[in-house]
């Protein structure tokens, strides 16, 4: 009996050592409705570059955690694969003056989708995505609930990525649609059954009063489009489908407006204001990104608070949290992470490095970037590989 008790003690001790706290969501300031497309492109590019540099520094402090070997078995309900999207700028060096001083100048831009095992992070397949016209850091990726269908958006168009059952092969095809009016990298969501894509759009020719923004739902089988428009200066972000596959949650933000709404996609094209209804779920004070769980009952998002230190620096305490979609009440904290901020990396920029990227089909597993990339099961955070180093930019991940 003593031997059995000793073995049980050892097993419980090992489980306790592996347990980790968990949860929080990234913060992002939505673009103003009246700004030009160029300004909207440049803002996320600059933010992405700074965040990647920040993540590289933070990862040094957590290298031991990143190199821990995760479970070899995929937990029930957890997607078997996750796909990271990375843009790389290939710099060219030219000679200047008589001193022949090498000077880096922008060269070609490539975008790569990498399929990885969700349990181990092992690379299973790599696919090159056309992205030569895409500014770095402005791509986006979203997944269906079948674990095999993904949609990638960038300045060159919309692409469907299909992964084989074993995850070791992937095919990419471009949809026959023009990317001109799509706000790529900002808001897009593939329906649970993989048949439709919801994406934020804007007018191609804006009147003097400003651009109008809207949401378009595109049928991937037929190419049919339904579009709902809002008045100028209102931007739609954070698209996610409700479990019935008929509603899309979005964040409407503008002058004196910030509210989550549900779009009824069975309504005919027309007014987005008329075809949607406001949710009682309140917008977090710092407007963190949010995803609706498949059953529509909860929202996974992030919060952050700062603890000032010395010399203009301090600590950001970020959380991935689950909130009630009905009243915004805190249901549980999924992950907690901390990072330092200073004058070079302000608190708001550091806070933007923590957020939820994708939810599993059952809503029980979350793929997050909270200073490190990782997955959350229950309240346990497991680090995963996939964040690039400079001069590459992280465009997101999905499963």
Domain boundaries, the chain: 22-68+83-89+112-385
Higher local confidence (pLDDT), 365 or 7? 365
Of 57-61, 173-177, 196-200, where does mean pLDDT reach its minimum? 57-61
Rounded to whole angstroms, the Cα distance separating 32 from 9 reads 57
| Residue 286: per-residue pLDDT | 53
- Mean residue pLDDT across the chain: 78
| Residue 249: per-residue pLDDT | 93
Rounded to whole angstroms, the Cα distance separating 7 from 18 reads 17
Residue 390 and residue 56 in contact, taking contact as beta carbons nearer than 8 Å: yes
By C-alpha distance, which of 115, 121, 136 is closest to 53? 136
| Residue 23: per-residue pLDDT | 30
Give 22-68+83-89+112-385's CATH code, choosing from 2.60.40, 1.10.3210, 2.120.10, 3.30.460.
2.120.10
Segment 359-379 shows an average pLDDT of 91
| Residue 206: per-residue pLDDT | 73
One DSSP character per residue, 134-177 reads SPTT--EEEE-TTSSEEEEEETTEEEEEEE-TTSS-EEEEE-SS
Higher local confidence (pLDDT), 5 or 121? 121
Decide if pLDDT at 128 tops 90: yes
- Is-above-0.85 flag for pTM? no
| Residue 148: per-residue pLDDT | 95
Segment 223-230 shows an average pLDDT of 92
* pLDDT tens-place string over residues 22-32: 333 333 444 44
| Residue 101: per-residue pLDDT | 53
Tell me phi and psi for residue 272, to 5 degrees: -70, -35
| Residue 55: per-residue pLDDT | 36
Decide if pLDDT at 114 tops 90: yes
Residue 376 and residue 366 in contact, taking contact as beta carbons nearer than 8 Å: yes
Residue 196 and residue 241 in contact, taking contact as beta carbons nearer than 8 Å: no
Residue 288 and residue 282 in contact, taking contact as beta carbons nearer than 8 Å: no
Rounded to whole angstroms, the Cα distance separating 127 from 146 reads 19
* pLDDT tens-place string over residues 336-354: 999 999 999 999 999 989 9
Higher local confidence (pLDDT), 122 or 36? 122
Decide if pLDDT at 298 tops 70: yes
Segment 293-320 shows an average pLDDT of 92
| Residue 271: per-residue pLDDT | 95
- The per-residue b/e assignment along 2-28, b for 16 or more CB within 10 angstroms, e otherwise, is eeeeeeeeeeeeeeeeeeeebbbbbbb
Decide if pLDDT at 320 tops 70: yes
- Neighbour-count burial of 166, counting CB atoms closer than 10 A to its CB (0-12 exposed, 13-18 middle, 19+ buried): exposed
Decide if pLDDT at 73 tops 60: no
* pLDDT tens-place string over residues 185-206: 557 899 999 999 999 888 777 7
| Residue 258: per-residue pLDDT | 87
Higher local confidence (pLDDT), 84 or 66? 84
Residue 356 and residue 396 in contact, taking contact as beta carbons nearer than 8 Å: no
* pLDDT tens-place string over residues 38-48: 333 333 333 43
What secondary structure letter does DSSP report for 296? S
Higher local confidence (pLDDT), 33 or 298? 298
| Residue 334: per-residue pLDDT | 96
* pLDDT tens-place string over residues 96-108: 555 555 555 556 7
Decide if pLDDT at 375 tops 80: yes
Q: Using pLDDT thresholds of 50, 70 and 90, give the confidence band for residue 16.
A: very low
Segment 257-262 shows an average pLDDT of 90
Q: Using pLDDT thresholds of 50, 70 and 90, give the confidence band for residue 146.
A: very high
Higher local confidence (pLDDT), 152 or 311? 152
| Residue 44: per-residue pLDDT | 39
Decide if pLDDT at 363 tops 50: yes
Q: Using pLDDT thresholds of 50, 70 and 90, give the confidence band for residue 118.
A: very high
Decide if pLDDT at 234 tops 50: yes
Higher local confidence (pLDDT), 111 or 283? 111
- Neighbour-count burial of 87, counting CB atoms closer than 10 A to its CB (0-12 exposed, 13-18 middle, 19+ buried): buried
């Amino acid at each position: 009996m003593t031997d059995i008790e000793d073995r049980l003690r050892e097993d419980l001790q090992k489980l306790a050592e592996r347990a980790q706290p968990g949860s929080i969501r990234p913060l992002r300031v939505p673009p103003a409705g009246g700004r030009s497309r160029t300004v909207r492109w440049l803002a996320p590019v600059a933010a992405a570059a700074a965040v990647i540099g920040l993540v590289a520094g933070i990862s040094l402090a957590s290298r031991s955690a990143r190199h821990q070997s995760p479970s070899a078995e995929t937990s029930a309900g957890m997607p078997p694969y996750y796909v990271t999207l990375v843009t790389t700028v290939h710099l060219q060096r030219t000679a200047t003056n008589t001193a022949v001083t090498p000077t880096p100048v922008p060269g070609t831009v490539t975008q790569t989708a990498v399929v990885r095992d969700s349990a181990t992070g092992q690379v299973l397949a790599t696919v090159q995505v056309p992205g030569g016209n895409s500014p770095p850091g402005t791509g986006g990726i979203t997944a269906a609930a079948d674990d095999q269908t993904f949609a990638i958006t960038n300045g060159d168009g919309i692409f469907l990525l299909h992964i084989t059952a074993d995850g070791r092969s992937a095919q990419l095809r471009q949809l026959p649609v023009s990317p001109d009016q799509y706000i790529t990298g900002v808001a897009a969501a593939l329906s649970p059954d993989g048949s439709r894509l919801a994406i934020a759009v804007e007018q191609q020719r804006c009147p003097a009063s400003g651009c109008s923004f809207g949401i378009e739902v595109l049928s991937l089988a037929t190419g049919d489009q339904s579009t709902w428009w809002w008045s100028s200066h209102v931007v739609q972000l954070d698209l996610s489908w409700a479990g019935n596959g008929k509603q899309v949650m979005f964040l409407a933000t503008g002058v004196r407006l910030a509210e989550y709404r549900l779009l009824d996609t069975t309504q005919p094209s027309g007014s987005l204001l008329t075809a949607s209804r406001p949710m009682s779920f309140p917008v977090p004070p710092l407007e963190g990104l949010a995803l609706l769980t498949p059953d529509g009952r909860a929202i996974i998002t992030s919060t952050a608070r700062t603890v000032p230190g010395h010399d203009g620096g301090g600590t950001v305490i970020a959380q991935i949290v689950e909130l009630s979609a009905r009243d915004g009440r805190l249901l549980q904290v999924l992950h907690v992470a901390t990072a330092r901020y200073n004058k070079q990396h302000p608190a708001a920029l550091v806070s933007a490095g923590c957020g939820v990227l994708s939810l599993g089909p059952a809503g029980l597993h979350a793929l997050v970037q909270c200073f490190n990339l990782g997955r959350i099961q229950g309240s346990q955070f497991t680090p995963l590989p996939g964040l690039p180093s400079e001069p590459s930019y992280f465009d997101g991940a999905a499963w």
